[in-house]
Amino acid sequence: DVKVTQSSRYLVKRTGEKVFLECVQDMDHENMFWYRQDPGLGLRLIYFSYDVKMKEKGDIPEGYSVSREKKERFSLILESASTNQTSMYLCASSGGQGNSPLHFGNGTRLTVT
């Protein structure tokens, strides 16, 4: 069974802090994604990566960056956290180049005060 692990379930940070959200998958998947989930807005794609050291902007990349130094790990970085980045962050992975299902992590609920 695919396991996608996010390092923190809950995180509280102050405005202006640099924040790292970590995600690790154990199925040797090529593709990894970061989504943000907000009530009434669904799941919105922030960044994704289809290979090590590769990254692509999603629909809402502003204020975020990512890092993928190893195939199994995909990090989301908030360079200077702001209150409007308070949200649930979901990492996901998928294999292959076709229409493979996304496997999600349990999410990190980030609160920026």
Partner 1 sequence: GENVEQHPSTLSVQEGDSAVIKCTYSDSASNYFPWYKQELGKRPQLIIDIRSNVGEKKDQRIAVTLNKTAKHFSLHITETQPEDSAVYFCAAKGTGFQKLVFGTGTRLLVSP
Which range in 12-20, 64-72, 78-86, 90-98 contacts partner 1 by CB under 8 A? 90-98
**Is 46 exposed, middle or buried, given 0-12, 13-18 or 19+ CB atoms closer than 10 A?**
buried
Is 102 among the residues that bind partner 1 (CB under 8 A)?
yes
Q: Is residue 40 at the binding interface for partner 1, with CB under 8 A as the rule? A: yes
Give residue for tokens 């990566």.
49
* Shortest Å, Cβ 16 to partner 1: 30
Site string for partner 1, 9-28 (x = CB under 8 A): --------------------
Please give the residue ranges that form the binding site for partner 1 (CB under 8 A).
31, 35, 40-45, 48, 50, 56, 58-59, 90, 94, 97, 99-102, 104-107
